Structure 1
Amino acid sequence: MVTETVRPAIGVGAIILRGNKVLLGLRKGKHGDGCWQFPGGHLEYGEAIEECARREVLEETGLNLENILIGPYTNDVFAKDKKHYVTLFTVAESHEGEATVMEPDKCSEWGWFEWDKMPKPLFLPIRHLLEKGYSPFLKS
């Protein structure tokens, strides 16, 4: 008898800074519907984390990233959806252009929000970041 091993997936979230705000999108679809999340997606085989962030942000928002740094990670178990992700975050800047909904089946809108005034509900990985006390605006 063959037993299938289920392993966590790797997600990459891009915390995009513009002034004192971050970019959030309102998710659509079964997984996280109605929650606000950073742009991002699945890490592809052989892909660098920074390149994944750059690719996903361009695909989802039309924005280009600058000064990409590796940020924190979260361990996210979505019990209801029976999904488990390790979410790797990048922190980057985007100084030009407006975020455009490029994938309307996955996101209904993009908006810039102050870190301590983010809309609710937040997607689980962001909630976990906040529980850790993380802020991209605090210098360590």
Structure 2
Amino acid sequence: MRPGHDFIGVGVGAMVFDDDGRVFLARRGAAARNEAGLWEFPGGMVSFGETLAAAVVREFDEEYGMAVEVGALLGVSDHILPDEGQHWVSPSFAARWIGGTPAIREPGKCTAIGWFRVGALPEQLTQASRDTLTAYRKKGPA
């Protein structure tokens, strides 16, 4: 049984900001679970018994070597991808980068990373990231 395919999966993400107000993005690689080639506010699947915030912290450490501090919940996306046969529920948070030098640690799942101004993001964002951006713009900086 596979989360997101055989039953609804839970995947968490975060808009992580640096001290200059830029947000961290990653471009999904060919080995990503879905939406390969698109940019995202990173995150990952929540493990059984793990809190949402702990999953954000773990994923940023595992995938990018970054330490982050999780803040407010921005929103929850109904991340339904009929063409890929997937269904996820995706809470997204505002977070702050507090340490570590960002690096791609899973090159099959990620092809590029970078810091961007909110007003100058790449156009090709994942569905959950578009939903997160909409929620962020409604709420304002956390």
TM over 0.5: yes
Residues 1:33 and 2:32 are matched in the alignment: no
% same residue: 27
Is contact 1:50-1:69 (8 Å) kept? Answer: no
Residues 1:62 and 2:65 are matched in the alignment: yes
Matched AA of 1:107: C
Mark the CA change 1:49 to 1:76 in structure 2 (over 3 Å): closer, same or farther.
Answer: same
**Residue of structure 2 equivalent to 1:124:** 127
Deviates more, 1:64-73 or 1:108-117: 64-73
Deviates more, 1:71-80 or 1:60-69: 60-69
CA shift, 1:139, in A, is 4.8
Is contact 1:91-1:136 (8 Å) kept? Answer: no
CA shift, 1:136, in A, is 8.5
CA shift, 1:67, in A, is 4.7
CA distance in structure 1 between the partners assigned to 2:78 and 2:27 by the alignment: 21
For these two proteins, the number of residue pairs brought into alignment is 135
Residues 1:75 and 2:78 are matched in the alignment: yes
Is contact 2:53-2:70 (8 Å) kept? Answer: no
Unaligned 5+ segments in structure 1 are none
CA distance in structure 1 between the partners assigned to 2:17 and 2:74 by the alignment: 13
CA distance in structure 2 between the partners assigned to 1:58 and 1:136 by the alignment: 28
CA shift, 1:97, in A, is 3.6
CA distance in structure 2 between the partners assigned to 1:106 and 1:16 by the alignment: 19
Trace 1:92-131 onto structure 2 (pairs within 5 A).
92-130=95-133
1:135 to 109, 134, 137: 137
Q: Which entry has the higher C-alpha Rg, 1 or 2?
A: 1
Structure number having the greater helix percentage: 2
SS at 2:119 equivalent: helix
Question: What TM-score comes out, normalization by structure 1 length?
Answer: 0.85
**Residue of structure 1 equivalent to 2:13:** 13
CA shift, 1:68, in A, is 3.3
Unaligned 5+ segments in structure 2 are none
**Residue of structure 2 equivalent to 1:49:** 52
SS at 1:66 equivalent: strand
Mark the CA change 1:113 to 1:41 in structure 2 (over 3 Å): closer, same or farther.
Answer: same
SS at 1:134 equivalent: helix
SS at 1:94 equivalent: strand
CA shift, 1:6, in A, is 4.2
